[in-house]
Structure 1
Amino acid sequence: MSNTPPTPRRSRRNRYLLMRHGHSEANADGLIISRPERGLSDFGLSPRGHAQLKSLLADWHWPPPDRLVHSDFRRTTETAEWIAQHFGLPLSADIGLRERSFGELEGLSDCRYPDVWTLDADDPDHQVFGVESVTGVANRMLAVIAALEAETYGETILLVSHGDPLQILLTAVEERPLSTHRNREPLLPAGIVTLP
């Protein structure tokens, strides 16, 4: 597969806000929690994450979302619950927005992330350590957008996901080589950007 998936820029039917989950217990503990076996039930938001969301919602300056779609991991679900309650929206989980799987590095220190990112820069299709490839993440994230585009029109849709998948999605949509996904400034916990 090409280093850059085909994502021609065109007018979208909907407007998208991309949000990284709030600061989590995994962030606080410095752990890689990327697999559903642990991420679905454990490692939700930290007290710092709750404070971030309270502040974010008190000073919301983006268009109010019409729809909310989130990764089904605990930390993203809890983040989405805050947003949903504030705006009176139903929750909708989509496994396509899940964290990138870091394979054998699951449960290890997050200081191991750069080991994977260095390999990403050489080959976005690599699966060293059993990680999910950058290309694979890009394809599933783009598939979420494509499905929403096919079923809705004229909505502001908030997608709540994770750091790496959002970086990769933004890189793909900007039509930059996927190997450069770590060259863009990371989206901080509880950070929001619009999809270009």
Structure 2
Amino acid sequence: MSNTFPPAEGAWRNHYLLMRHGHSLANQEGRIISAQPLGLTGFGLSPRGRAQLDTLLADWRWARPQRILHSDFLRTTETAERVAAHFGLTRTLEPRLRERHFGELEGQSDTRYAEVWALDAQDPTLCQGGVEAVAEVAARMREVIDELERRHRGETILLVSHGDPLQILLTALEGRALSLHREREPLAPASITSLKASLKA
């Protein structure tokens, strides 16, 4: 999947690959794992997730990344480790790419995501039940790209994050209302969305 929707000044300086982590043990168990310490130290990749990454890396169809930043959760760290090892790269922890915090729903069934998304559609600034507001997620995710745009030019940069934060980021980059983030097709585990650079190095 490839998208353009560059920033306000009219062009991306870099080429971004936005990657959702591989299938995780949280996915396997159908649980919401969005906070410390469980997210940092547990619920890493499932056997299915490791197989997904093996397949992805064996048939890599995107530009070779030159830089990898990733959420500090275990499932994203393990995903980034595999990609970094494949390309012989180092990786950088970036906590702002972390999973959206789901507050009081932590550890509960992932069927309860739907309750949060229904509230998101009403008000993207809502923080009910300790859930991180969509607007806050969009701000921290966009901050990462804005910093990379200031510091680098002409690079292919892989950002490894989570489903909800990436969908929120993509909605923000498209200039659409954040309340519509769940109207995007859900990002599959181990999927990559490409944001093409519009300027040459």
TM-score of the superposed pair, with normalisation by structure 1: 0.95
Match of 1:65 in 2: 65
Q: Distance in 2 between matches of 1:90 and 1:98?
A: 19
Match of 1:162 in 2: 162
Q: Structure 2: how far apart are the matches of 1:9 and 1:184?
A: 25
Alignment of 1:21-170 (within 5 A): 21-170=21-170
Q: Deviation per CA, 1:170-194, whole angstroms, max 9, x where unpaired?
A: 0000000000000000110000011
Q: Which residue is 2:3 aligned to? A: none
Q: What is the percentage of aligned positions where both structures have the same residue? A: 63
Once the 2 structures are TM-superposed, how far is the Cα of residue 36 of structure 1 from its aligned partner? 2.2
Cα RMSD for the two superposed structures: 0.9
Question: Partner residue of 1:191?
Answer: 191
Q: Distance in 1 between matches of 2:98 and 2:72?
A: 7
Between 103-112 and 147-156, report the one with greater CA deviation: 147-156
Cα deviation, residue 10, structure 1:
2.1
Whichever residue aligns with residue 149 of structure 1, its letter is: E
1:12 is displaced (CA, Å) by 1.5
The runs of 5 or more residues in structure 1 that have no matched partner are 1-6
CA offset at residue 9 of structure 1?
Answer: 6.0
Matched to 2:55, the amino acid is S
Match of 1:3 in 2: none
The one-letter code of the counterpart of 1:17 is L
Tell me the CA shift for residue 50 of structure 1.
0.3
Deviation of 1:37 (Å): 1.7
